[in-house]
Amino acid sequence: MAHKDIKKVVLAYSGGLDTSIILKWLQTEYGCEVVTFTADLGQGEELEPARKKAELMGIREIHIDDLREEFIRDFVFPMFRANAVYEGVYLLGTSIARPLISKRLIEIAHETGADAIAHGATGKGNDQVRFELAAYALDPDIKVIAPWRDWTFKSRTDLIDFAEKHQIPVPKDKRGEAPFSVDANMLHSSSEGKVLEDPWEEAPEYVHQRTVSPMDAPDVATEITIGFEKGDAVSLNGKAMSPATLFAKLNDYGRDNGIGRLDLVENRFVGMKSRGVYETPGGTILLEAHRAMESITLDRGAAHLKDELMPRYAELVYNGFWFSPERDMLQALIDKSQEKVAGEVRLKLYKGNVIVVGRQSPYSLYSEELVTFEDDHGAYDQKDAAGFIRLNALRLRTLAKRDRSK
């Protein structure tokens, strides 16, 4: 795109060194006005320094938005209704945050009359895809600037030299290569790169920032009860809470009991494999509880159909297609299935384990009368099973007779 066409850019700004360099690079390379946007997604960092740093760099329009409730209510909870896990284990903590950030970037661009948005994702990762697919879905005419794909910097030294030339403060701990990179929000923390690049080497304990080691967790189980309505968690230990408040409490329980650690080699959308160390304490608890709630409230056909569709849903989230018609279609089906997923689940948390110990619901399909080994008073005639088996065995017997005759 022609630089002269860009007069104002909204930058996803963390306040860190990299996005501060991007901010100055946009000012010098494009000669444009920069608007900063910093999202509070529960990453656990003080965000006012980002405001101060933006002010020092001459930014007049600074947006710092608390999106924690929207993040959990409108993005995390809908995804958890689907029990979405990518490649069998990953709870999509980074993936699900990107569409919300893009949504707000587009909103601010419209509010401020900006021509473009900019992000700090590299050209090797998934995030560039997620940011930009979401942005184009919400505004097909928006221009997107991805400096890591455009600038000529080849090394960390080049970036530091640029920062010093333009009087961007460089903390001492940023002068060398970081031992690993971290992305965090209320759902999870993600660590990748450097000391984690060899998949054979165990991750150092200092990489884990959200959880105590399961070996160091208490020797006594912690029991909690989660209440559900329409597939969403609405109460904890009998107390109603907002989505973000409840999730923060689950994170505390997970942290203290060493729950939610994952060491994964995953397939990125861009084609390469990468190794990541993830911590999703509250999400790991919530997934187990939600599946337990579904176990007594969902019909077998509905439950199995959901499980068949889940990998497709998870892949859409991972690849950045949150604002796609197919994700909307799947969400409508999933939400329909959740209408009577309500009740309570009791769990014990112990040294990295989430153990379901009880579940109850006013919509339960579980019948003690049917499953009992005692007299069921005619609720189930065991002789009926003979005909059921014969009918299901018909094709198997036909195949066996044919094959035996040859």
Known catalytic residues? 18, 98, 127, 181
Cβ contact 23:54 at 8 Å: yes
Distance, CA of 100 to CA of 114 (rounded, Å): 18
Distance, CA of 119 to CA of 131 (rounded, Å): 8
Give the full edge-to-edge strand order of the sheet including 239-240: 239-240, 232-236, 222-229, 343-350, 353-360
SS3 content of the chain, % helix, strand, coil (to 5): 45, 20, 35
Considering only CA atoms, which of 125, 59, 77, 133 is closest in space to residue 321? 133
Distance, CA of 17 to CA of 162 (rounded, Å): 11
The token pair that represents 292 in the structure block: 């337990």
The token pair that represents 397 in the structure block: 């017997």
Considering only CA atoms, which of 235, 234, 237 is closest in space to residue 225? 237
Beta strands 189-192 and 181-184 are antiparallel
Beta strands 8-12 and 116-118 are parallel
Question: Cα torsion for 245, 246, 247, 251, to the nearest 10°?
Answer: 100
- Residue linked to tokens 């020092």: 56
DSSP of 98-163: HHHHHHHHHHHHHHHT-SEEE----TTSSHHHHHHHHHHHH-TT-EEE-HHHH----SHHHHHHHH
Distance, CA of 351 to CA of 267 (rounded, Å): 29
Considering only CA atoms, which of 244, 273, 236, 271 is closest in space to residue 100? 244
Cβ contact 68:42 at 8 Å: yes
Distance, CA of 270 to CA of 10 (rounded, Å): 25
